Chain A
Amino acid sequence: MPLAKRQFDAVVVGAGGAGLRAALQLSEAGLRTAVVTKVFPTRSHTVAAQGGVGAALGNMGADRWEWHMYDTVKGSDWLGDQDAIEYLARKAPEVVIELEHFGMPFDRNEDGTIYQRPFGGHMQNMGAGPAVQRSCCAADRTGHAMLHTLYQRNVRAGTQFFVEWMALDLVLGADGRVLGVTALEMETGDVAVLQARATLFATGGAGRIFAATTNAFINTGDGLGMAARAGFPLEDMEFWQFHPTGVAGAGVLITEGVRGEGGYLLNKGGERFMERYAPNAKDLASRDVVSRAMATEIKEGRGCGPDGDYVLLKLDHLGVEKIEKRLPGIREIAKKFANVDPVKDPIPVVPTVHYQMGGIPTNYLGEVVVPGKGGPNTVVPGFYAAGECACASVHGANRLGTNSLTDLLVFGKAAGETMVRFLEENPGHPELPADAADRTLARIARLEGPGGGESVHEVGRELRRTMQAHAGVFRFPDLLAEGVKRVKEIAERAEHLAIADKSRVFNTARVEALELQNLVEVARATMVSAEARKESRGAHDRSDFHERDDANWLKHTLWYREGDRLAYKPVNLKPLTVESIAPKARVY
């Protein structure tokens, strides 16, 4: 196989919101930057974000970044690092205003300021309430507007994209510094080494490990797989967000903005059941709380439909005018994918896997940090991560709605800035090791050689089924233990995949096999980490340990691929400038 080498100042893997925001910083600094992406940038999954981006602009009434910080800490069930959360909440208004200047088509108020809507878990007065309107939105297609705006800025800045390229593995120097990636050019089937003085992963989530997910087909955790194979740990992978309102059967997302605008959930008796589970916040409680309530209703026989396996999201009372103005995309989705017109009928919804809270461990500057000589958060030189694939950690055990778009703007920009500084201070390329691409080439050779025999689709299906059944909204000790065993078996099978189509050009089967190997790493990390965490916190809810256990479990999980080893590191409860928010009971 021919092996080309190309040199750049920086390589960014992924062209969603975080990758584009970082690339903009690098391109505008005049650095030679390659953005590697499996799909054309505006097809990236950020495009599917609907409800808004959270920032304490205070356009709709009093709001303060300290309140946003408090809500995020509480939303994280105190597993978030408070330095990173302070940074997120403080910087949020700045990155939103910047995006507005870039041309983002936000909705507006009568006074011309950006319109903000309520969202789950966002409150006034350090959690005391009432609800605050903090989510800046472009109707219900905020991610689409944001991604296109960031892409336009990158076209202006002349950013170079490697479209339909898939990054395969990290390249490491002898001293542990990251020196770029190996990547597959899908059109030709060639593998190249993309050498870089700084490498950013912005590869998004890996929701495709589950059978029912709002995630796009491309969300296969490629960055996580690459990091794990290179020996880096993955942090807090047991925490997966189930979005309360995926269209039943189809998995397509219905934004929380529906409830923000006044929609609510009903069980088969027509009861607004969230009033029982969260008397104050009701349908706008945190996502983990609402998803658990829905799953409980369904489990206890109060679900709707012939099989009682979903609940209903009612919004017809908002009126056709408001629905058309604020939620036009939702009406379109409901008609197409649920066969109901929400101006008349409620939408059948179920909790659906949506977001991965864990990821590659970073600090708030976007630098990847791992246990090492400098303590539990030793910086890996030349390696950065931002967005859903990273774990800063701002979302802890449960992410608040709107904070994912905030995350990718704030930390995409921060990582870009940090990389620019690093590149100034570290001129010159270290030498590439002779075996830079060996791991990758061996992996591809195995796929194509004899000795395989496992079908990509069968192994993939088995993986998704196992994750769905063993690591769902509610988790049970026996199912988790069995799940660990099964996922390890599946991982073993994934070592022996065979692809029937061996052509070089645009070989979808090869790409799917390589993606599956990444998904398997994520699934292993998830199952092993979940089985080990003997408490309930945020999105991780165990039947045998029903309470949060701060004495033993106020700590981050670190999973290493080698031997499925687990380590732990403390949560940073110390913010950058303000006082720590001490753990307390989380009630909505």
Chain B
Amino acid sequence: MANGTHRKLRLHVMRYNPRVPGDAPRLQTYELEEADGMTLFIALTEIREKQDPSLQFDFVCRAGICGSCAMVIDGRPGLACRTLTKNLGEEITLAPLPFFELIGDLSVNTGKWMRAMSERLEAWVHMRAGELDLTRIEERMDPALAERIYELDRCIECGCCVAACGTARMREDFVGAVGLNKIARFRLDPRDARTDADYYEVVGDDAGVFGCMSLLACHDVCPKNLPLATQIAFVRRKMAREGLG
């Protein structure tokens, strides 16, 4: 592409601002010339700078780590900053993530939902009483276990898994793969004093792990390739045992 002619891209962007009275959802088309190494982030920024300052979308780090730029790209949730236009056709359709509160255009409020989920699952390490002793050295941990915890801790809370989830379409109280992955992560962590009985209290129902229908779209769309299918199955087995016991 470096020395040939560049493609003309047509971006069809879902526009809608729910706070503007009378506004209705519609697709707006923007045309621009593709550049080498162009990502959707670069394309959208160029559109906002040169064509339409009112276009709303979110970007922060533009390096795939902050989780703020998830959107539906040609029907599939993904991170816009890491999506190269060369891997897409000339006609590109962009829509906001479903399920989350729409702020406007491509911008949704994932944060509000993530905070509520974190509160509900108490998504932090529950230290044993009186454990914060800074004179002591760190709690020892087996390196292989540390790696397994780290692996699940890579979640960037972008919301793609929930946006792709069949259960979430039907139950707005579903904690999603992001929530169940957190439970899997804290369950592994020896620093967390909670038992399976405690976890059962928060995810042992249809809004939790038993709501999952194993459609596994979460697993397919996760931009961080988290092993969500295995983790949800694992949590479900543990919770089922807890429920029966």
Contact = CB atoms under 8 A, between A and B. Distances in A.
Contact of B153 (A97, A105, A339, A506): A105
A57 B136 CA distance: 12
Contacts of A509: 53-54
Interface stretch (B7-15, B137-145, B210-218): B137-145
B107 A145 contact: no
A45 interface: yes
A477 interface: no
B68 A109 contact: no
A465 interface: no
A505 B191 contact: no
Name the residue among B58, B124, B139, B156 with the largest chain A CB count within 10 angstroms: B124
Contact of B63 (A102, A110, A112, A252): A252
Interface stretch (A80-88, A259-267, A329-337, A382-390): A329-337
Contacts of B157: 42
Interface in B1-46: 17, 19-20, 37
Interface in B92-106: 103-104
A505 B19 contact: yes
Name the residue among A40, A97, A500 with the largest chain B CB count within 10 angstroms: A40
A115 B54 CA distance: 47
B66 interface: yes
B146 A506 contact: no
B178 to A, nearest CB: 12
A111 interface: yes
Contacts of B131: 101
B61 A155 contact: no
Contacts of B107: 506
Contact of B68 (A43, A98, A105, A138): A43
A48 B63 CA distance: 8
A155 B140 contact: no
Interface string A523-538: 0000000000000000
B124 A108 contact: no
B170 interface: no
A253 B122 CA distance: 33
A503 interface: yes
A480 interface: no
Contact of B53 (A47, A115, A139, A508): A508
A105 B61 contact: no
B154 interface: yes
B74 interface: no
Interface string A74-113: 0000000000000000000010111011110111111111
B189 interface: yes
Given A112-B140, A253-B63, A40 B111 contact: yes
Contacts of B54: 501, 503, 508-509
B204 interface: no
Contacts of A139: 150
Contacts of A130: none
A586 interface: no
B240 interface: no
B103 A506 contact: yes
Contact of A97 (B68, B124, B138): B138
B64 interface: yes
B189 A103 contact: yes
Contact of B140 (A102, A111, A163): A111
Interface of A: 39-45, 47-48, 57, 94, 96-98, 100-103, 105-115, 138-139, 141, 144-145, 148, 151-153, 155-156, 161, 163, 187, 216-218, 249-250, 252-253, 325, 329, 332-333, 336-337, 339, 457, 499-501, 503, 505-506, 508-509
Given A97-B134, A101-B139, 5 more contacts: A40-B114, A43-B60, A100-B139, A111-B140, A505-B20
